[in-house]
Amino acid sequence: MFGEKKKTSQEVKWIVTFADLITLLFCFFVYLSLFNKPQVDLKTGFIVNEETTKSLTGRLPENVVSALDSMKGEFFEIREPFEARLEKLIGQKNTSLYKTPILIESIAEGKVDESAGVMKVELIINEKVEADLRIPLFFAGNARRGPVDPELCTEDGLTSNPEEIQEFDYITGTEVAMIPEGEQESFFPICLINDELYEEPEEIMVQIGKLRGDVERGNFVTRSIYIQDDEPMPSVSFEIERRDIFKGISNVTASISPISGVRTEIPLRVAGTAKENMDFQFREGATIMIFPYTEKGTVELEIIQDDIPMYATRTLVVQMDEDSIRGAEVGGISRQINTIIGAQEMKDCSGINRFLRENPAFSSFELNASKSRCILSLPSGFLFPSGGATIKSEIEQQLETFLGEIRDRYELEGDAIRVDGHTDDVPLNKNARYRNNWELSTLRATTVATLMMEKVGFKPERIAISGYADTRPKTPYLGNDGSRKSGIDLLNARKANRRVELIFTRPVQKERTRRFFPEPNAG
């Protein structure tokens, strides 16, 4: 008994070994922590988008991925409400199981409305700093950045809105952010410039630069912020200068209102009796392009006329393809109707046209040409007082100068001249000087013709006078939908229709006549 060796307790030996292990692990983590540096990150938000669910497919159960589909497009500034929303969808247990991969894949870019004025970008560090930490910032993206001005851009937004920054999308107050001593987070403002341009979403990309000292960048050193435009979509309309077109090039022009900051594409459709590539063709495609910050766009329409007989007509209807327009919506005039007239050559009106271009005083005069005529339209508002037929005294000398300039134009030599008076559709007052618009239109034409003959020297035998009242409007009083115009559209139509037209026509060969009754004393 006494010689028997005492057995050593295995249980006591195991406990000693475990304690040693715990001590060693503790020392290891303390030692490891000495090498860990504080990390700075940009604070971001969370969103589940199509890329998120696609990347999680195959890594998470199908029911979890399907539940996340209902979260597409929802943005969360902070983590807590995002996690709470997850719990409602997939349950607390599942959220705890799958939270980490979902959060990682759901880190998103921020979005801000242009009208917000200012947004604050936050910086966070995983432990309190012992001294002020300076963090350099870099900015990129397609949003136009203005000057760095801490007095102009504050945490409350822009202190003023000077004109010189209107060409930019945002400005900043600093390029170096700071986390103060003893703090773990800070923020800096980005001031947004709310212009009046319709624009596509624009990206501001913020990046943390290289850090000095015992601090390093974390996982989220770049954040994209998209500025959402708040302007209504602009509208596009045709500008119709003339409806009769001949051989050569004619422009189809559309204008946009207000001017946009995006490219607008207006595909065109055609209808009517004219046939493409036979009677006409678009020289560089049938899509009008209006580029950013420009007012108009044009396509060239070439009239071929190879198969159009002399004086025959073809109808060409050009319409905007409303379902395919990009960057705008259709305005008031989305269709224009043209008449292609068979003609071998146009009447030469180049001299009058050149004089009008070179003399802004007559910019309200309108000139059109046809196969045999130059049609010069003089607005009544320029020539006469309202309801009157006597030329304004201050205008008379100007009109004489103009008529004298065109009197001896070689291209008008020998032309017959018709002076036509036109009024709008408003009946004259019972107490008016003239009985009706017929009398008024005729007297206005007579007044202009008399000036041409007596003051300028036009030959009377070349002149004919007509009055048409309101029966031949240049601008229709009905809209494209067949309803009568109203408001400013009606006023503009009436203004355009009050005019005196000078029509210069090539003389025709003298016709042969036949006498039906003999002379009285003929044998």
Q: For 45-99, what is each residue's pLDDT tens digit? A: 777 877 788 888 888 888 888 888 888 877 777 778 888 888 888 888 888 888 7
What is the spatial distance between Cα 260 and Cα 265, in angstroms, rounded to a whole number? Answer: 12
Same domain, 324 and 247: yes
Q: Are residues 203 and 239 part of one domain?
A: no
Residue 304 backbone dihedrals phi, psi, to 5 degrees: -90, -55
Which tokens belong to 306? Answer: 């190879």
CATH no. for residue 509? 3.30.1330.60
Query: Is 27 inside any structural domain?
Result: no
Q: Domain check: are 451 and 426 in the same one?
A: yes
Measured at the CA of 415, the angle between CA 412 and CA 419, to 5 degrees, comes to 105
Contact 458, 407 (CB under 8 A): yes
520: cis peptide before it, omega within 30°?
Answer: no
Please, which pLDDT band fits residue 341 given cuts at 50, 70 and 90?
Answer: low
Shared domain for 93 and 169, answered yes or no, is yes
Closest residue by Cα to residue 44 from 74, 79, 95 = 79
Residue 36 is predicted with a pLDDT of 60
Partner residues linked to 255 by β-bridges:
237, 296
Residue 9 lies in a domain: no
Tell me whether residue 28 is in a domain: no
Across 163-191, average pLDDT: 90
Task: Give the CATH number, domain containing residue 241.
Answer: 2.60.40.2030
- Of 164, 196, 228, the position where a domain reaches its end is 228
Do 87 and 203 share a domain, yes or no? yes
Question: Mean pLDDT, to the nearest integer, of 476-501?
Answer: 90
Tell me, yes or no, whether 193 lies in a domain: yes
Q: What is the mean pLDDT of residues 6-14?
A: 48
Q: Give domain status of residue 7, yes or no.
A: no
Residue 1 resides in a domain? no
Mean pLDDT of the chain: 83
Contacts of 386 (CB under 8 A, 6+ apart): none
CA distances for 522 relative to 146, 503, 513, 514, 516, angstroms: 99, 42, 19, 16, 13
Q: Are residues 351 and 268 in the same domain?
A: no
pLDDT of residue 400 exceeding 80, the answer is yes
Residue for token pair 């705890």? 96
**pLDDT number for residue 176:** 92
Ramachandran bin of 43, using left for φ above 0, alpha for ψ from -120 to 50, beta for the remaining angles: beta
How many angstroms from the chain centroid is the CA of residue 28?
A: 64
44 and 107 both lie in a single domain: yes
449/387 same-domain check: yes
Q: For the segment 360-392, what is each residue's pLDDT rounded down to a tens digit?
A: 888 889 888 776 788 999 999 889 988 889 999
Q: Tell whether 317 and 445 lie within a shared domain.
A: no
| Residue 214 pLDDT level (bands cut at 50, 70, 90) | confident
Q: Tell me, yes or no, whether 189 and 236 share the same domain.
A: no
pLDDT of residue 310: 53
pLDDT tier for residue 343 given thresholds of 50, 70 and 90: low
Task: Please report whether residue 129 resides in a domain.
Answer: yes
Domains contained in the chain, number: 3
Same domain, 381 and 513: yes
- The reply to whether 141 and 100 lie within a common domain is yes
When pLDDT is averaged across residues 27-35 and rounded to a whole number, the result is: 48
Residue 358: domain span: 346-523
Q: Has residue 407 been placed in a domain?
A: yes
Determine phi and psi for 452, rounding to 5 degrees.
-60, -40
Q: Could you read off the pLDDT of 225-268 as tens digits, one per residue?
A: 888 888 888 999 998 765 666 667 888 899 999 988 889 999 99
Q: Answer with the one of 200, 228, 256 that is the final residue of a domain.
A: 228
In angstroms, the CA 148 to CA 151 distance is 9
What is the model's pLDDT at position 312? 60
SS3 content of the chain, % helix, strand, coil (to 5): 25, 30, 40
Of 176, 194, 228, the one marking the end of a domain is 228
Alpha carbon distance 164, 170 (integer Å):
12
- Mean pLDDT confidence for 402-411: 85
User: Does position 201 have pLDDT exceeding 80, yes or no?
Assistant: yes
More confident residue, 36 or 131: 131
